[in-house]
Amino acid sequence: MNETAHALAASRTLWDLLRRRAALTPDRPVLIQGDRTLTFGELRDRAERVAAGLSERGVRPGTVVAWQLPTRIETVLLSMALARLGAVQSPVIPFYRDREVAFALHAAEAEHFAVPGRWRGFDHTTMAERIGARGVFEAYGTLPDGDPSVLPPPPAEGGDVRWIYWTSGTTSDPKGVLHTDRSLIAGGSCLAHALHLSEDDVGSIAFPFAHIGGADYLVMLLLYGFPAVLFETFALPGALDDYRKHGVTTAGGSTAFYSMFLAEQRKQPGEKLIPTLRLLAGGGAPKPPELYHAVVREMGCRLTHGYGMTEVPMITMGSPDDTDENLATTEGRPPEGMEIRIVDGEVRLRGEAVCQGYLDPAQTAQVFDADGFLITGDLGRLTDSGHLVLTGRLKDVIIRKGENISAQEIEDLLHGHPGVADAAVIGLPDADRGERVCAVVEQAAGAPELTLAAVTSYLRGEGLSTYKLPEQLEVVSALPRNETLRKVLKYKLRERYA
C-alpha cells in the first residue's frame, strides 16, 4: 500500500475517507456507468446535497434507512449521503422478495426504505406497500436534494454501528450483521493492500453493490483514487463492450464470474477477451485449482482469490506476486491486524474488520469464543508461509460410516474432468451408511454422457480414496445458485435428492 493510501486508511469514517480523497483528486473519475462518469469531487458534493434532501425527510444521525437498489451511480450517492448524516443504513440485496425484505425491515426497525420502483419486471414499490414498509421512496434516477449549508457536522467517530448487512438466508431467516465504518475501511484496506493496484487501474463492480463487497470495493477506490465501471446487470457476452470501452484492468467477483469469463475466452482462443485486463480477483466461494490454471493459461492474466464473509468482508487475499502454487491452492494471507486461529481444524478470526455481532444478541453470544474470536464454521489450516488453505465447512463434511469426507476435495477433482462444467458434492441420508456421497454435476457442452462408473473411475485415477467415491450421480442443466456471488445452493440439492 503506498503512502497516500496508508494515510487515508486511517480515516475515522467513510465520509472522512471520501472528503480526504476528493480533496486530493477532485477531478479524477470514480464511478463510470454507460456514458455517465462521476468524479471524486462530484461524489462528495452531490452526496452532500442528497444528505440535505434526506435530512428534510427526517433522516438524522442514528436513523435506520434500508435500501434495496441495483448497482447504480445513484445507489453509491445515496449510501454516501447516509454516511455523511451518520444514519444507520441497511442494504438489502435487490433480488430479495417479500419474506426476506419484510423480515429485514422489521428486524432492523427501518424508518425509511429506498426502492428502485419497477426494476427488471418486478414492482418494488408495490412490494414495499404490501409488506407495510415505512417511509418508502423511489431512488432509482431521482434522489432527494437539498441545501448542504443546513447540514449538521458529519460524524466524527467510526466505531459506532452504522451498517446492518444481511446474510443470504438460504436455509432460514437472514441474520442482521452489524458493522462500523472502521470495520468496512479495514476490510477494504486489506483488499487494496493485497491486489497491488494503482491510480492507473480501472476496476469493475459487476455484483450487487448492496453486498458487503460493494463497500469493500468503494473503500479501495477511495484509497487508491482509481475508477470502477458499474454494471447494473451482468451477463456475458453483453457486458464485454463496456469492459473493453473503458479499458478495465481488473475484474471478477467470485468463482462463477471466473468461469463465465473463461467460457467466453474459449469462444475466441488466441485473441485476448479484454485487451487491457491484467487481473481477475474475487472470493465468496471455493476456487478449484484447475480453474485457476485454466484462467491464467487461456486468458493471459493473473488470478487472485480471497476469503471473506458478511461478518468479515476481507480475511485473506491472494497477491499477484504470490507463487502459482499458493494462488492455485490457498486463499492468500491475512493482512496485518487480522488474527487467524485454527481450533480443532476450524477457522476463527479476530481483528478490526470483524463485525460487532448480530442484531440478535443470542446469535452474537454463540458466534464469539471466550477470547473474542469469531467462530466461522469453516475448516482450514495455515501453511508455513502463512497462507490459509480452506478444506470445507463443518456443515459440508459428509460423515459416511463414521468417516469424515470433505465435499470440497471431491469437487476440486471433479472440476478437472473434461466432461464436467461445474460440480457440487453433497451428503444424503442413508440408512446403512449414515450419509452417502452424491455428486451433482453440470455436463460440459458436447461432452459424452456422464455416468457414475465413468466418474468414479476418473476419481480413482486421481487418487481419491475408495471410501470417498460418490455412490450417486445426478446430471443437471444448471446448479441452483443465489443472485449475489452465484454461490451454489446446496440445501436445494439436498431437498431435491434426499
Distance CA 287, CA 138 (A): 38
pTM for this predicted structure: 0.85
H or E segment at 4? helix 3-8
Residue with cell 450517492: 77
Helix (H) or strand (E) holding 71: none
**CA-CA distance, 476 to 423, in Å (whole number)?**
10
The per-residue pLDDT for 190 is 86
Domain ranges of the chain: 1-392, 401-497
Helix (H) or strand (E) holding 437: strand 434-443
pLDDT at 172: 60
- Burial label for 494, CB within 10 Å (0-12, 13-18, 19+), is middle
The cell for 24 is 486530493
Report the 10 Å Cβ neighbour count for 36. Answer: 10
Q: At what angle do helices 407-414 and 452-461 cross, to 10 degrees?
A: 100
Structure letter (DSSP) for residue 277:
-
Per-run averaged pLDDT (10 residues), the chain, 498 residues: 89 97 98 97 98 98 98 98 98 90 96 97 96 97 96 96 82 84 94 91 96 95 97 94 98 88 94 97 85 95 94 94 95 93 96 96 95 94 96 81 84 94 92 88 92 95 89 95 80 90
Cell for 310?
Answer: 458478511
pLDDT of residue 170: 44
Q: Which of 297, 17, 30 is nearest to 155 (CA)?
A: 17
What pLDDT score was predicted for residue 176? 96
Under DSSP, is residue 212 helix (H, G, I), strand (E, B) or coil? Answer: helix
CATH code of the domain made up of 401-497 = 3.30.300.30
Q: Give pLDDT, residue 171.
A: 47
pLDDT at 132 (0 to 100): 97
State the pLDDT at residue 286.
75
**What are the residues whose beta carbons fall under 8 Å from the beta carbon of 286, sequence distance 6 or more?**
255, 390, 408, 411, 412
CATH architecture of 1-392: 3-Layer(aba) Sandwich (3.40)
Crossing angle, helix 14-24 and helix 212-224, to 10 degrees? 30
Computed from CA positions of residues 287, 285, 309, 207, in that sequence, does the dihedral angle turn out positive or negative?
A: positive
Contact between 284 and 485 under an 8 Å Cβ cutoff? The reply is: yes
